[in-house]
Structures are given as C-alpha cells and as structure tokens.
Amino acid sequence: MKKSIKAIIAAISASIMCAAPITATVTNPTPKTGITAQAASDIIHDVAFLNNNGGLNVIGSGALTYHIVGNNAILYGRYNPVDTVNMPDKIRYNNKLYPVTEVAPRAFKNAVKTACGEGVYTFRSGKYVKKIGDEAFYGSSLQKITLTYGLEEIGNRAFAYTNVGSMLNIPGTVKKVNAQAFKGCDHVEYLFFNGSSATPLDISSEAFRGLSKLKTIYVSRGNFKANGKYANDNSIFKDTPSSFDVEYDIDGDYNNVDEFINRYF
C-alpha cells in the first residue's frame, strides 16, 4: 500500500539498518542546480610522446598520462604525483585533437599521500568523457569531485571509500551506476539525481551503500532501474541513516516519489 506524497515514509525496510527502519520525509523542493555548465570552448592540453606500450601513451600538462585508441584518448593515470585531476576536453598530439572519453580502470586507485608524493584530492571530468572505469579512484584521497554533463557510466567501485565531498551530483546523462560505485563515501550529505525520464538510470547493488551522513536525496528524474530491470533492490542504499529527506521534482513516468522510495529502501 503506497503512502501519500506528503506522508512520512516509515519502516520501509528493516534490512537496511539492522532493525532500524528508514524514515524518509518527502517534500517538494526549491529548484536546485545539480549539473555543472559546460564551457563555451574546449579545454585542450598539448601532449608529448612518452612511450609505446600496447598503444600510444602521451604525457600532458598536469603530469597526466593518456592512452590513445583510435580517434579518442583515455586518461590513464599520473606521470608525476599531482594532487588535482582536471580532465581536459581534448588533447593535442602531433597537431591532431583527440577527445578524452574515458578514465581508465584503476587509473588513480589508492592515490593517497605518502612519503613519495601527494594523493589525488580533486577530480573534474571533461566535456566528452563517457565512462569512469572500475576502481578508477578507489581508496584515494579525494575530497571533491565534479561529474560533468555528458557522462554516461560510472564503473564498479569507481569512487568507493573516498571522500567525494558533502554534495554528490549524478548528471542527467548518466545511464548506469555500477555496483558499489560510491560505497563507503561517508561524507556525502546531499545526493542529487538530475535529469528526466528521457534517460533511464540503471543502479546496481550497493551503489550508494554506507553513505552514513546522508541527509537529503533530490530526485528530478523519474525513470529508474535496479540491476538492469524494474525491480526492488534495497541493497542500493543499505547502511544509510535511519532518517533522511527526499525532495522531488519529477516530470517522468512517476507521478510521485513513493515508487522511488518503495523500490530502493
């Protein structure tokens, strides 16, 4: 039996908090800005030849290494231990431009401060990036991330056990958030699902598990899946606080947020 939109949703799933029920207060939000605006022109980094290891690796400004595959470039990691990763939109090598479309799996995994250098503290994706690979930033020193409009997929454990900041925006272009993508990101207080029903969002198991400081979820897209199908999966937000707010502004196939709550909590 569904509760009304304005009702307090109580005791939805005891499995989420070891016998402590979830309580979600559903309200109608003030419009919020959750998507970083794209720059008017591309950010381009000039790069130089580094080595050839199964493809062309090049090094650019910011001491970042790229792997060129066909007409695209993949952000491969760090050549020197820089603490800020601001992805360019394109790289230029031998007078040819290559859009940077992906962050490689494990590119910055466990990038923490050591005696040998800095950890990675800040990450901003580029305009043309489509995918952030599995464990790309797993266990790193991240303190802030900006995921830009155009991103489509976030890999397994891509940001698990990092401090991505108190506000986490999932752009409206994202189609897939894979298993445990943000597991253990225990500094997140405000989570935004941007977009509309035009782009369905598929969320895998434990994708947002362990957001222990979560206060509010803002929902502005109405077409969600769980594990590739329209079905319940209350592991997605497991081990979140026993109460939080859900604010909604949905123009998709949900007329209210009850189904979102009932599906995932």
* pTM for the structure as a whole: 0.78
pLDDT digits (tens, 9 = 90+) for 158-186: 999 998 989 999 998 999 999 999 999 99
Beta strands in the chain (DSSP E): 8-10, 23-27, 44-52, 56-60, 64-69, 72-78, 84-86, 90-93, 96-103, 122-124, 131-132, 144-146, 153-154, 167-170, 176-177, 190-193, 201-203, 216-219, 224-226, 243-248
pLDDT digits (tens, 9 = 90+) for 25-51: 434 434 333 333 344 588 888 887 655
- 216 falls in which pLDDT band (50, 70, 90)? confident
pLDDT digits (tens, 9 = 90+) for 65-78: 888 888 999 998 88
Output helix, strand, coil percentages for the chain, rounded to the nearest 5: 5, 35, 65
Lowest mean pLDDT among 148-157, 169-178, 191-200, 201-210: 191-200
- 152 falls in which pLDDT band (50, 70, 90)? very high
Q: Domains plus CATH for the chain?
A: 13-31+147-264 (3.80.10)
